[in-house]
Structure 1
């Protein structure tokens, strides 16, 4: 790897002179500056983030604050990480992934280091302990996930309440009257995962309006617990004709559970999930689903954050993406009983 020492030797100057030329911190004569630039080009030297920051006041790096939690399905989280890193790369930014368990302290540390120009937060809770820190740091930030008070923040999320309504309305159009909703583990809600109760609230409100019975339950985020839970719920509600899934682990496990019970969708039970097209392909899921919009949320959040960094746009925006349902034929009218 070419170093600043190699550039200095090639140009016949000191390391300090190379640093001054690259950072612009001191005036260096044009002949000397030209020799340094030519050495940089011929050797293929790439200044590190610190030197670039001195020259431009930007590092062209975004911090991605993500928490890998045991009660959430890791493949679903990885979709959002990929979405953010892909969007950043397309716009000329690198991404620093920070997954420290002490997320608030990690946020303070990263902001103070000046290693990044902006910050993207995932796993945003209803009352997230990282949010108060955002108002005390210089770098702008963007949230993927809706907190209780989004004022003053750049926030992007799926409209989960509307997603719940859409799922129930789709079932009612096929004359379903008794439904099981399987949500993320209770711990996720207790920790502030408001997307869980928002979707459930939309589903329950709509079911009440349509005179439907909706049984709302939580399930684990890993096997074998989630599979056992699905069996329990199907035994507990034998008259239910459809299942709604706001739990990616449950969606991945359901094909095996139905096969073990000799059931098929939609012949015996209708199914609607909430996950992305990529997730459906990765786990070969044949179910109609509301798109979790990971790619679109990542793209929009990163683009808006970079606009705040480069163009000084206000750090205050809220967008809830309307849910989009992909029909994969897993919903049909209930079989006569």
Structure 2
């Protein structure tokens, strides 16, 4: 196994100089740093994680705590995970994915063992029982999702109330006056998925202000149930001319549902959803949608977390960032049929 001594010998410098060139803990001339970097590449040297942790009091590992829940659409969760892991790798950090059901116990165990430098939490609930543990942990954290009480922790999320209002306003601008909103399953709200009711409540409020009739439903999170749900909602409201989808499974199922009913989009019905651009490409979805910005949110959370890790004594204020929603036009919006 290649050691730091081998790197030093190949670069023609002392072991300590090679170590300082890699760690950046002391000023090293650009020429020497370049020689060390060349030796690292030639020898395919990888620093020993344990030795590095002892020397720097850091592990260069981030824990990502999330759960794959049966009533949510797993591919949508993957977009957030990729945003976190890709940006962490770019910044020199590995990611430990923790998906066990007992998030409190997992966070306590990992924090006390000092095996990671910080935490990113997914599936953040309105009253998330992991947050008191995170606030008392010696490591910093960041949340992908806005809880009821975000005190003391950096938060990154889509502005879901603004997204709900924008979806209704966009349909209204195209002339639609009766819409169907399909949200995530009711179970998601019952366990604290506040983003569902934040979007739905704002959509209903804006619809009332604009004189738009909005029929609001919860859809299933998988096939074939969600396909049956969509058919049932469309049967109940044959005069509705627009669909709002805050449910990724419903969006993925909709092309087959519309085809089975002999409906074309946007000639017969207009559609606007809420999901990431990557998700749309994955399922070849032709529907305009508010981009959930999953990748961007993951990247921003990691950047903020790494900054707190590397400036451990910083007193910078807590950062709460809600990304402004934007609709990506894929041609599924038009005036209602006459």
Normalising TM by the smaller chain, what interval? 0.7 to 0.9
**Match of 1:163?**
163
Q: Does the CA contact (< 8 Å) of 1:49 and 1:115 recur in 2? A: no
Larger CA deviation: 310-319 vs 49-58: 310-319
Compute the TM-score of the two structures, normalised by the length of structure 1: 0.87
How far 1:190 sits from its partner (Å)? 0.3
Which among 308, 323, 329 is matched to residue 321 of structure 1?
323
Number of residue pairs matched by the alignment: 309
**Match of 1:90?**
90
- Distance in 2 of aligned mates of 1:264 and 1:111: 53
Cα deviation digits, residues 150-195 of structure 1 (max 9, x gap): 1211000000000000000000001111100000000000010000
Say which SS state the counterpart of residue 231 (structure 1) adopts. helix
**Match of 1:229?**
229
Cα deviation digits, residues 4-62 of structure 1 (max 9, x gap): 8xx89xx9xxxxxx9xx98xxxxxxxxxxxxxx9xx97975644433211111111110
Say which SS state the counterpart of residue 59 (structure 2) adopts. coil
**Match of 2:24?**
none
Gaps of 5+ in 2: 10-14, 20-35
- Distance in 2 of aligned mates of 1:288 and 1:154: 30
Q: Does the CA contact (< 8 Å) of 1:141 and 1:315 recur in 2? A: no
Runs of 4+ deviating beyond 6 Å:
40-43
Indicate the RMSD between aligned Cα atoms, in angstroms. 2.2
Q: Does the CA contact (< 8 Å) of 2:155 and 2:301 recur in 1? A: yes
Equivalent residues in 2 for 1:205-220, closer than 5 Å = 205-220=205-220
Cα deviation digits, residues 191-226 of structure 1 (max 9, x gap): 100000011011111000001110110011100000
**Match of 2:288?**
288
**Match of 2:269?**
269
Gaps of 5+ in 1: 12-17, 23-36
Equivalent residues in 2 for 1:322-337, closer than 5 Å = 322-336=324-338
Q: Does the CA contact (< 8 Å) of 2:2 and 2:43 recur in 1? A: no
- Distance in 2 of aligned mates of 1:49 and 1:71: 38
**Match of 1:102?**
102
